[in-house]
Structure 1
Amino acid sequence: MGKSSIAVDIGASGGRMIHGLIEEEKITFQEIHRFENKMIHNGENFCWEMDKLFEEIKTGLKKCHDIGIQPDSIGIDTWAVDFVLLDENDNLLTDAVAYRDPRTDGIMEEVFTIISKERLYLETGIQFQKFNTLYQLYSIKKNNPEILEKAKTFLMIPDYLNYLLTGVKVNEYTNATSTQLVNAFTKKWDQQLLDKLGINKRMFQDIKFPKTVLGDVKQEIVNEIGFNINVVLPATHDTASAVISIPETEGTIYLSSGTWSLIGVENHFPICITKALDYNFTNEGGIDCRYRFLKNIMGLWMIQEVKRNLEDQYSYEELVNLSHEAPEFTSTVNVDDERFLKPANMIEEIQQFCSETSQEIPQTPSEIAKCIFDSLVISYQSAINQIEEIYEKKFDRVNVIGGGSQNELLNQLIAEKTNKAVYAGPVEATAIGNIVAQLMTLGELNNIRDARTIIKESFDVKKYTSLVEER
């Protein structure tokens, strides 16, 4: 049997640990551990429970030992932009404050008085979102400057978890690019930008790329879990890992569908032109120094919040089915309006938007669900049109990956709205991308081309068209 890997894939609502290897020229998976993740309020900020997440990783590794699995490597991916700061004794100076926390309200506009949007985009190629790491750090500089002065180490969420495992401090490339502090062309921390903003440059670590071996876990962890294991950097940004799993990239627009919707194309160079800035596209890092030219759209967060507002009396599948019961309801919202980022009540916010725009107000769960799905598809169509305008060409297909690819209603709506073939899958895109990056590092796969060939043979992908649905 060949070498195997564990993907630790942590999202905003939960994490899982998946064991993967190549058997009979296909990738096989086994879920080892699943756990909850959520924001908590510590009295001042909304934060992530980093100690709990680290304990869950060790629990998953103990489960491997208990069932007789000893993987050769482990790789961690999470969401982007969030971070911790450590002092000179490697103690936490900050909690892992969540990107939905309001501490960055109004900060982006303040930064623009120091450095223009155009200059920021030309150098970093990153889209403007008020929760980008840049604005989180500037918020600290403004309100708690002593924290930044004391900071000796800046680590993003997966970087910190890797540090807890190994004692090694690095900033991984794909996640670092989401900070809006990495130069899009040099792929290094932009020192001039940091100087301009007065942000402590000394706390940033060397940027390392996916497929870097960090080394063995610490001996105390070996004693705890029962075996030694190597820590390898996948693309630690979960979307960067997910994009690796797209079987065909030529002529394909991808849509990574989950809490967020990330829609774009894979590129070999950044596109930092005025039109891309105007449309707020980003150039985030990918595997093998590729670029993910994409737009961030609010995504299934809205239906997740509606489910919560309805006290979880409906499953996601039931909400999808309910949306069929309101075929005449046509009100839509702008899913990218900041009011939907973290409202007190998502249903009331949707209703208020419809009222303010003189549309029929959704009242029933079926109308609310249909409003969200129709609104998402309108946003997808707009982004696709913008991509084709920038590239000056038409794309043949849309490949929906991730958990949202199981939403057959949404897939069919996309096919009908765009008049393109829609391919749905793989579902476990992020874990697949995480594992194949590790398997390339371990020598089980030669390169990304081989990885995508074997992914295509290993996982089902369903096709939707505007006229008929076919497998």
Structure 2
Amino acid sequence: MKRVAAVDLGASSGRVMLGTVGADTLELAEIHRFWNGPVRLGNTLHWDVLHLYRSMLDGLAQAGPLDSIGIDSWAVDYGLLDAAGRLLGNPIHYRDSRTDGVMERVLESVSAEDLYAITGLQQLPFNTIYQLAAEGLLEQAETLLMIPDLLGYWLTGQVGAERTNASTTQLYDVRARAWSSELAQRVGVPIKVLPELREPGDVIGTVLPEETGLAAGTPVIAVGSHDTASSVVAVPAGDERFAYISSGTWSLVGLELEEPVLSAEAREANFTNEGGVDGRIRFLRNVMGLWILQECQRVWGSDDLPGLLRAAADAPPFAVLIDPDAPEFLAPGNMPRRIEEHCRATGQEPPRSQAATVRCVLESLALAYRRTLRQAQTIADRPVDVLHVIGGGSQNELLCQLTADACGLPVLAGPVEASALGNVLVQARALGEPLPDLGAMRALVRSTHQLRRYQPQGKPADWDAAESRLFGIR
């Protein structure tokens, strides 16, 4: 039996989770939860990475003796170190406006076709490559570390780049499974700042007790440090004919493949090929996710999500639809007002109540999932029999049912803590637990965690008409 800690950092909160893993055991206990989010200083949005580090240490200290520690977080953001290993400023948040217009400028020096042929990544304005093109401290930097690698460096003193997160930077050659020195040179990123790559399951080092206050000799293990990579490890699938939605602030909708799909069709549909655990490819597309609803709740001052969902379930269907990936929904702000403005701009009457707004957001998300999933199956030539919804959004019963209805597939919801579970499973295997492959890990999830099944309901023709309407007004 192994006792390990998963440091699991999301875009709005972080947790230290204690995992217990054995032959028939896979348990999680939350030890410490802490706030995370953007901090505005002047005109710039930052991450408070020192707060995250301190909170992580507090949680690890509360966890007691551990066999190992693993860290996962969101992708694309990074910290820069100088030659002495000192952090050059608080990392900047991917929702910051510094990348406005940068993607278009970079694409003047390297074509979208060339970028995709090398990296296989979805074009998003906040990808690391575009953040670096707007970076004012790059000339002073010796090393670039993604957020989990930065925290791992502070724990152990060891520098490196875990592969699944490196694959999200748009500086990684997805076929060669290495940094692309050619691409880095073409976009002005010094290749020296990109550290040696690590595999999930590699031991990063042992904690520095004098720096951290933690027990000497405790190993820190590289996991699928992009939280979606860890989440996909914990998809409780029984075979390969599955799709997944990692549902939270963002929704990652896609398939697990053995090889990247780098076709013109995949590029034009804006699918990404990100690295997964055990060399797998996460062929997916980002959809805005529950961020829109979270921002609406913040503006309304409402934390009664169950009440909002009950009211939304009774609201008229398909009254108003929005494009959840429209750029006006990316930054923090008054989301209900933006929805109203979006509706007027697309010739629709805005929703007149909070319930109608919630219904609008969730139906629009379900339609985006439907379109993305159908495109993924066609482009990758991979049929799907079941859709797994994992992460926090798996608790949203209305969204899960709407997703089953929209996609015409049974939805299996859960586990909620997929990213932490994937994190602890990779650690346990590295420590010698008999979990030889992803199939064994997923079987353990299935046998230890309860899932909820949603069968498609309603009329498929209604969803056909709604999809035609939504993507006709985009």
TM interval, short-chain normalised: over 0.9
Structure 2 match to 1:102: 97
Cα distance, 1:392 vs. partner?
3.4
Point out the more displaced range, 205-214 or 388-397. Answer: 388-397
Structure 1 match to 2:461: none
1:136-215 matches, within 5 Å, as 136-140=131-135, 144=136, 147-215=137-205
Which one-letter code corresponds to 2:29 in the other structure? Q
Question: CA offsets per residue over residues 92-127 of structure 1, 9 Å max, x none?
Answer: 223210000000000000011001000100110010
Which one-letter code corresponds to 1:361 in the other structure? P
Q: Contact 2:207–2:215 (CA<8 Å) still a contact in 1?
A: no
Which one-letter code corresponds to 1:362 in the other structure? P
Cα distance, 1:227 vs. partner?
5.6
Q: Output the CA distance in 1 between the equivalents of 2:151 and 2:414.
A: 29
Which one-letter code corresponds to 1:355 in the other structure? R
Which one-letter code corresponds to 2:266 in the other structure? A
Q: Contact 2:261–2:380 (CA<8 Å) still a contact in 1?
A: no
Structure 2 match to 1:450: 440
Q: Contact 2:22–2:433 (CA<8 Å) still a contact in 1?
A: no
What SS does structure 1 have at the residue aligned with 2:183?
Answer: helix
Q: Output the CA distance in 2 between the equivalents of 1:214 and 1:12.
A: 24
Q: Contact 1:445–1:451 (CA<8 Å) still a contact in 2?
A: no
Point out the more displaced range, 407-416 or 318-327. Answer: 318-327
Q: Output the CA distance in 1 between the equivalents of 2:333 and 2:322.
A: 17
Which one-letter code corresponds to 1:194 in the other structure? A
Instruction: Call closer, same or farther: CA 1:42–1:325 in 2, change over 3 Å.
Output: same
Structure 1 match to 2:402: 413
Q: Output the CA distance in 1 between the equivalents of 2:189 and 2:216.
A: 41
What SS does structure 1 have at the residue aligned with 2:314?
Answer: coil
Structure 2 match to 1:423: 412
Aligned-pair Cα RMSD in Å? 1.4
Residue identity over aligned pairs, in percent, reads 40
Q: Output the CA distance in 2 between the equivalents of 1:23 and 1:291.
A: 27
Q: Output the CA distance in 1 between the equivalents of 2:430 and 2:119.
A: 28
Q: Quick check: 1:133 aligned with 2:122?
A: no
Structure 1 match to 2:426: 437
Q: Contact 2:78–2:146 (CA<8 Å) still a contact in 1?
A: yes
Q: 2:86 aligns with which of 88, 91, 97?
A: 91
Q: Output the CA distance in 2 between the equivalents of 1:201 and 1:221.
A: 30
Q: Contact 1:6–1:435 (CA<8 Å) still a contact in 2?
A: yes
Which one-letter code corresponds to 1:272 in the other structure? L
Structure 2 match to 1:116: 111
Q: Contact 1:123–1:183 (CA<8 Å) still a contact in 2?
A: yes
Return 5+ residue gaps in structure 1 as ranges: none
Q: Output the CA distance in 1 between the equivalents of 2:303 and 2:311.
A: 9
Point out the more displaced range, 231-240 or 90-99. Answer: 90-99
Q: Output the CA distance in 1 between the equivalents of 2:448 and 2:292.
A: 32
1:190-339 matches, within 5 Å, as 190-221=180-211, 224-226=213-215, 228-248=217-237, 249-311=239-301, 313-328=302-317, 330-339=319-328
Q: Contact 1:329–1:367 (CA<8 Å) still a contact in 2?
A: no
Cα distance, 1:47 vs. partner?
0.6
Question: CA offsets per residue over residues 323-375 of structure 1, 9 Å max, x none?
Answer: 12322551110001111001531111101010111112112110110110010
Return 5+ residue gaps in structure 2 as ranges: 459-474
What SS does structure 2 have at the residue aligned with 1:63?
Answer: helix
Question: CA offsets per residue over residues 242-272 of structure 1, 9 Å max, x none?
Answer: 0000121511010100000001011111101
Question: CA offsets per residue over residues 262-310 of structure 1, 9 Å max, x none?
Answer: 0101111110100000110000010011110001000000000000010
Q: Output the CA distance in 1 between the equivalents of 2:317 and 2:368.
A: 20
Structure 2 match to 1:403: 392
Q: Output the CA distance in 1 between the equivalents of 2:22 and 2:202.
A: 24
Cα distance, 1:22 vs. partner?
2.4
**What TM-score do you get using the length of structure 1 for normalisation?**
0.94
Q: Output the CA distance in 2 between the equivalents of 1:24 and 1:210.
A: 21
Q: Contact 1:133–1:179 (CA<8 Å) still a contact in 2?
A: yes
What SS does structure 2 have at the residue aligned with 1:62?
Answer: helix
1:71-90 matches, within 5 Å, as 71-90=66-85
Cα distance, 1:23 vs. partner?
4.5
Instruction: Call closer, same or farther: CA 1:152–1:385 in 2, change over 3 Å.
Output: same
Which one-letter code corresponds to 2:144 in the other structure? F
Structure 1 match to 2:453: 463
Question: CA offsets per residue over residues 120-148 of structure 1, 9 Å max, x none?
Answer: 001100100000000000112xxx3xx22
Which one-letter code corresponds to 1:56 in the other structure? S
Q: Contact 1:172–1:207 (CA<8 Å) still a contact in 2?
A: yes
Q: Contact 1:436–1:445 (CA<8 Å) still a contact in 2?
A: no
Structure 1 match to 2:3: 4
Instruction: Call closer, same or farther: CA 1:190–1:310 in 2, change over 3 Å.
Output: same
What SS does structure 2 have at the residue aligned with 1:88?
Answer: coil
Cα distance, 1:467 vs. partner?
4.0
Q: Contact 1:235–1:434 (CA<8 Å) still a contact in 2?
A: yes
Q: Output the CA distance in 2 between the equivalents of 1:120 and 1:302.
A: 30
Point out the more displaced range, 36-45 or 104-113. Answer: 36-45
Instruction: Call closer, same or farther: CA 1:390–1:254 in 2, change over 3 Å.
Output: same
Q: Contact 1:174–1:286 (CA<8 Å) still a contact in 2?
A: yes
Point out the more displaced range, 449-458 or 225-234. Answer: 225-234
Structure 2 match to 1:15: 14
